[in-house]
Copies of this chain bind each other. A is one copy, B any other.
Amino acid sequence: MSIFEKLESEVRSYSRGWPVVFDRAVGTRLFGEDGTPYLDFFAGAGALNYGHNNPVLKQALLDYLARDGVTHALDMFTVAKRDLLETFEEKILRPRELDYKVIFPGPGGANAVEAALKLARKVTGKESVINFTNAFHGMTLGALSVTGNSMKRSGAGVPLVHATPMPYDQYFDGVYPDFLYFERLLEDSGSGLNEPAAVIVETVQGEGGINAAGVDWLRGLAELCQRHEILLIVDDVQMGCGRTGPFFSFEDAGIKPDMVCLSKSIGGYGLPMALTLIKPELDVWEPGEHNGTFRGINPAFVTATEALRTYWSDDELEKSTRAKGERIGAALQGIAEAYPEAGLTAKGRGLARGLELPSGEIASRVCAAAFERGLLMETSGPDGEVAKLLPPLTVSDAEIGEGLQIIDESVKSVLAK
């Protein structure tokens, strides 16, 4: 029995589908300890938008560590944090005419969500929050309460209250008007809906099955929130940092959320880091009212800053992400059309792509077939029925070709059986 089987909790999951001990990683490749390469179309669930051990970021990190730059600093002022804030303002906020203050909420995406929900409730004096079907926002109790997946919810051990799910875009295949039920409940003082402090939304639901909300729907949601004085929180933990093309996934919709949650790829190198962006007028915290030990991981600030400088000084990355995404989307569409009787659907936007298969069991088999062929790809969706593609944004065209070829073969190997 391996030390993993002996010592690690049964809660582990990814290691079940990929029973390999990984050792090294560069760009889009992970390597097993025997040197076997794996093409990574998972990218740390979106935490590695710039690839594994990106050399530019790596050099900045090594330099910082070598010169004994502060590693851990809580929320103290540091040179690295100043660089980060200045760069974030210069490269991200100012060009997009976004006026946000920055909370360092803790190391992970769930912390960014928890801080946003706390502040929304504090500002409005209301407890209730609207989330969407198939939302995923994290595993801590506050974040879990706005997450849809029933298996994960049942892990809470306490009733998850204060959130009411509303239908996400296309939940009824576009047959019914957007926000039909939501707006009716808000307008009807006898509806029984607790008046919400905030709406929390992902523009593309990654864990929920690569469901991409349309820009019209997002605009409609923003307007609805404004009409009813509800704060709009965009959880851009997985879809931000360029995953869908632009830095923020909501840019194409032209909306300006009241709060934005960032994590995963914001640190650039895969080190834990998170930000909660808030409109300045919402900054009503008492000093220390929200805190935490890992809010000042300066090595992550350094790689974050370097990533912003390297990739967000122009629109090259955004353009290439859109182009790569369209290529993959078209290829998936081609696969879907090749099996008309199977009812496959190509989904997604930018480099968040999915292929919906007939069942979770079939999707698992497709991912297993891909793994046998050297490709890491995961399932998502309520029943795990969507094969999900989140390659690094830095993936090369050749790697895309290689990956698509494997996916094509894998689907064939499963559906042909």
Chain B residue contacts of A148, Cβ below 8 A: 188, 190-192
A398 contacts the other chain (Cβ, under 8 Å)? Answer: no
Q: Copy number in this complex?
A: 4
CB distance from A363 to the nearest CB of B (A): 14
Q: Which residue of B lies closest to A19 (CB)?
A: B77
- Is residue A82 within 8 Å, beta carbon to beta carbon, of the partner chain? yes
A9 touches B103 (CB 8 A): yes
Q: Cβ of A69: which chain B residues have Cβ within 8 Å of it?
A: 23-25
CB distance A20 to B52 under 8 Å?
A: no
Q: Residues of B contacting A292 with CB < 8 Å? A: 108, 110, 138-139
Q: Are A189 and B383 in contact (CB under 8 A)?
A: yes
Contact in complex: B181, A167 (CB < 8 Å): yes
Evaluate contact between B188 and A134: CB separation under 8 angstroms.
Answer: yes
Q: Are A139 and B106 in contact (CB under 8 A)?
A: yes
Interface residues of A in 352-411 (CB under 8 A from B): 381-383
Closest to A120 in B: B157
A26-43 contacts to B (CB < 8 Å): 26, 30, 33
Selected contact of A271 from candidates B9, B14, B22, B71, CB within 8 Å: B71
- Return A146 CB to nearest CB of chain B, in Å: 8
Minimal Cβ-Cβ distance residue in B for A27: B68
Asked if A65 is an interface residue, CB under 8 A from chain B, the answer is: yes
Q: Is the interface of A mostly helix, strand, loop or mixed?
A: loop
Tell me if A255 is interfacial: C-beta within 8 Å of chain B: no
A382 to B184, CA, bound (A): 13
Residues in B neighbouring A149, C-beta threshold 8 A: 189-190, 192
Q: Mark A58-84, 1 if CB is under 8 A from B, else 0.
A: 100110011111111111111101100
| CA gap between A79 and B33 in the complex, in Å | 7
Assuming the A-B contacts A10-B287, A70-B23, A152-B289, are A114 and B139 also in contact, with contact meaning beta carbons closer than 8 angstroms in the complex? yes
Contact partner, A22, options B73, B164, B189, Cβ 8 Å: B73
Q: Of B77, B143, B189, B194, which is within 8 A of A20 by CB? A: B77
Whether B14 lies near A76 (C-beta < 8 A) is: yes
Closest Cβ of chain B to A124, distance in Å, is 8
Chain A 100-124 interface 0/1 with B at a Cβ cutoff of 8 Å (1 = within): 0111101111110010011111100
Which stretch in A244-252, A278-286, A329-337 binds the other chain?
Answer: A278-286
Please provide the chain A residues from 116 to 155 with a CB less than 8 Å away from any CB of chain B in the complex. Answer: 117-122, 127-128, 131-135, 138-143, 145-155
A71: contacting residue among B14, B53, B147, B278, CB under 8 A = B53
Among residues of B, the one whose C-beta sits closest to the C-beta of A53 is B68
CA distance A2 to B151 in the complex (A): 46
**A339 CB within 8 Å of chain B:** no
Q: In the complex, are the beta carbons of B197 and A157 less than 8 A apart?
A: yes
Q: Name A residues whose Cβ lies closer than 8 Å to a Cβ of B.
A: 2-4, 7-16, 18-26, 30, 33, 44-48, 52-53, 58, 61-62, 65-79, 81-82, 85-86, 88-89, 101-104, 106-111, 114, 117-122, 127-128, 131-135, 138-143, 145-165, 167, 171-172, 176, 180-181, 184-185, 188-195, 197, 208-209, 237, 263-264, 269-272, 278, 283-294, 297, 299, 381-383
Q: Please give me the 9 A-B residue pairs with the lowest Cβ-Cβ distance, nearest first.
A: A121-B157, A72-B270, A190-B382, A141-B142, A148-B192, A161-B161, A165-B192, A140-B140, A13-B288
**Listed A/B pairs (7) with beta-carbon separation below 8 Å:** A10-B287, A11-B288, A12-B104, A18-B76, A108-B108, A163-B192, A172-B184
